[in-house]
Chain A
Amino acid sequence: MAKNDLLGASLWDAYSNKVTTLMNNPQHQGEIFEADAEARGNKLIVADFGAESCGDAVRLYWEIDQKTDTIVNSKFKSFGCGTAIASSDVMTDLCIGKTVDEAVKITNIDVEFALRDTPDVPAVPPQKMHCSVMAYDVIKKAAGLYKGVDASTFETEIIVCECARVSLGTLKEVIKLNDLKTIEQITDYTKAGGFCKSCIKPGGHEAREYYLVDILADTRREMDEEKMKAAADAGANGDFENMTLVQQIKAVDAVVDENVRQFLVMDGGNMEVIDIKKGDEYIDIYIRYLGACNGCASSSTGTLYAIEATLKEKLSKRIRVLPI
């Protein structure tokens, strides 16, 4: 929130001229009928995506020359807002003249880009970016129908944010590499979640298979586990400084048991490790004297130095022992 957010943006003012023009006058709106396509020796493919009850629906028509697999003509019908109509129109335009294999490579990003007046200004405001996603989905469906395969076979990776086409793999990698902790950071780095916001968490514009909140939580958990595993390995290698706290306490206890405790017990005393705190300069080990050691003059001088020296030698030079 800041000055520029005080007034909600005017949705329609953010549309490009191209969007506005095509909303008012779509060029490829209409139908192709099977009998006509067949009469021209071509194959007609008609695919639906979405439904009126979900608020968006598009029907795509491809007339295909089967000798070359080329889309010789294409039309659309749309139940949707103006941007859905404009997106469908541009999608249809992009399909014409392409082979089916080429057409299936058209993404929602291409459709949105084709709607821009100038290359660096988005054609629609963020919450409308999603409208072009249906164009991408219906193309895959049409291609699947033509080739007799499932539409999902054209998707080589799991797309979490369709508006920005960010994959699950990319998201995990970016979170790990940059140690991202919030959804806002993810959006800043990848643009995922910056448009229709459906992929952020359940309850948005549409239900998704993957949500950024879960991906973030899972990836952070993976990162913690990796860190833990690294620490466990460090413990196994005797690398005191990189051990987990539990490993460090065990290691200190082991050194004390082997080298120190017997001498304290001989004098009727003992000690216990209370806590270990890792600072920039020192690793502080807090201990408490028990029995006769308590109040013994040497407990803060000779005995203490002996304990510290032993731990420094066996575990880490940065150790400092502090009796409490």
Chain B
Amino acid sequence: MKVYLDNNATTMVDPQVVEAMMPYFTEMYGNPNSLHKFGTASHPALSTAINQVYKALNASDEDDIVFTSCATESNNWVLKSVFTDLIVNGEKNHIVTTEVEHPSILSTCRFLEEEGVKVTYLPVNENGIVEAHTVKSFITEKTALVSIMWANNETGMIFPIKEIGEICKAKGVLFHSDGVQAVGKIPVDLQDVHVDFLSMSAHKFHGPKGVGALYIKNSQKLTPLLHGGSQMGGRRSGTLNVPFIVGMGKALELATTNLEEKMATIKAKRDRLEDALLELSDTMVVGSKEGRTPNTILISIRGVEGEGMLWDLNNGQIGASTGSACASEDLEANTVMLAIGADNELAHTGIRLSLSRFTTDAEIDYTISHFKNAVARLRAISSSFALQKPTKGGEVQECELHH
């Protein structure tokens, strides 16, 4: 059996989405900007996609939701254009974000720091979230933007976006949220929550890769990132990626229809898996079940190094992910893990399992069984569980390596 439990990285495209996209490759392939019928043939489907996205997010007709190539583009757009609009051509000089954002935020912030912008990277508490009062205390008169993710990719922890939105609104500071791990997974109601900008990506909710969007409240000013033929009302140039936009609309509609019901179903499977894995001794899961996106588990297994565990899971045809230093190509320690507690064993023993609505009960059963076997094998090898003590002087007093 093959089990895909890395849905926070990307998801399978829903076959219904693929079906909706197909006609726009070979039948209605015209450029939607063209005047002829080849071009205008795609307009009804594009309108449908736009309506699907507005409805799913409960956006107002006064707002803009601009399709982009991905959430990385959306995030870059907000940060770089707020820099242009309020810092280069304004009096502000400060951005507030968190230590646990996606690299498309963190790397862009580092780039802006080189351009002279002051950036505050807020720490997270032991549950892995930034508290609203922390955000409040770091906003100054010079703050141009607060950018805080809606839910975290590693832990699934949901941030207090509503409270942070109110704080930003009261302080008159622009608020951006990277909603990649929230949109399509948990309710995102833009009438209920105040955000100026919201980034999202279709491939996280069973849409295709290569298409995302940026929500812009009240169609407010934000200098374009891409200049060109003035598509998307001049906000984002580039020929519309018709099939992918159609796919994104369909995917978001499917993901958010009966969302509460879908969440409950996924959560039941997730909780069953989580409870079963926590039967193993010396394990822990980051964050409360209710405080997380319903599909995510970040579990720490003492004595079992993350990449070793991934290897064994992969041998059993299970695809998961790790925040462990050794698993990533560049050997950098995981920022979320380090933020929660750098000295914590968690930084090297974390395994992330992220489900989708396509995950079956049989897959959960298989995963529980295989996961436990893998832990047993690796703990049998692990020095953490060895019985014979080191020769006097052969102990390790402190960490000699500094990861």
Task: Please report A residues at the B interface, Cβ cutoff 8 Å.
Answer: 8-9, 11-12, 23-24, 26, 29, 31-34, 44-59, 61, 77-82, 84-85, 127, 130, 137, 141-142, 144-145, 196-197, 204-207
Contacts and interface: CB of A to CB of B under 8 A. Distances in A.
Contacts of A130: 331
Interface residues of B, number: 46
Contacts of A12: 311, 314
B32 to A, nearest CB: 30
A79 B305 contact: yes
- Residue of B314, B344, B394, B398 with most partner-chain A CB within 10 A: B394
A54 B343 CA distance: 8
Contact of A9 (B329, B387, B391): B329
Given A79-B304, A141-B394, A142-B394, 17 more contacts: A12-B311, A44-B391, A46-B394, A48-B394, A50-B400, A51-B399, A53-B345, A55-B348, A55-B403, A59-B383, A61-B388, A79-B382, A79-B384, A82-B308, A84-B326, A127-B329, A205-B331
Nearest to B394: A47
A26 B382 CA distance: 12
B324 interface: yes
Contact of B303 (A26, A52, A56, A58): A52
A45 B326 contact: no
Of A79, A80, A130, the most chain B CB neighbours within 10 A belong to A79
Given A31-B387, A79-B303, A81-B311, A57 B396 contact: yes
CB-CB nearest 8 A-B residue pairs: A81-B307, A77-B383, A55-B348, A207-B402, A54-B401, A47-B394, A54-B399, A59-B383
Interface string B288-329: 000000000000001111111001001100000000111101
Which has the most chain B C-beta neighbours within 10 Å: A23, A57, A78, A130?
A: A57
B384 A85 contact: no
A83 B277 CA distance: 25
A261 to B, nearest CB: 52
Given A81-B311, A82-B308, A54 B403 contact: yes
B349 interface: yes
11 contacts: A31-B388, A45-B394, A46-B394, A47-B391, A52-B384, A53-B399, A55-B305, A79-B384, A80-B308, A80-B326, A145-B394
Contacts of A24: 315
B210 to A, nearest CB: 16
Contacts of B304: 79
Contacts of B393: 144-145
A127 B345 CA distance: 22
A71 to B, nearest CB: 14
B327 to A, nearest CB: 7
B389 interface: yes
B44 interface: no
Given A47-B394, A57-B383, A145-B391, A11 B403 contact: no
Given A45-B391, A196-B331, A52 B381 contact: no
A55 B383 contact: no
A264 B272 CA distance: 102
A12 B347 CA distance: 21
B311 A82 contact: yes
A196 B296 CA distance: 31
B390 A46 contact: yes
Contacts of A85: 308, 381
Contacts of A206: 401-403
Contacts of A78: 381-383
Nearest to A142: B394
Contacts of B311: 12, 23, 81-82
B391 A77 contact: no
A82 B311 CA distance: 7
Contacts of A79: 303-305, 382-384
Contacts of B62: none
Contacts of B388: 31-34, 44, 46, 61
Contact of B331 (A53, A127, A137, A142): A127
Give the interface centre of B325, B343, B387 by most chain A CB atoms within 10 Å: B325
A24 B326 CA distance: 18
B261 interface: no
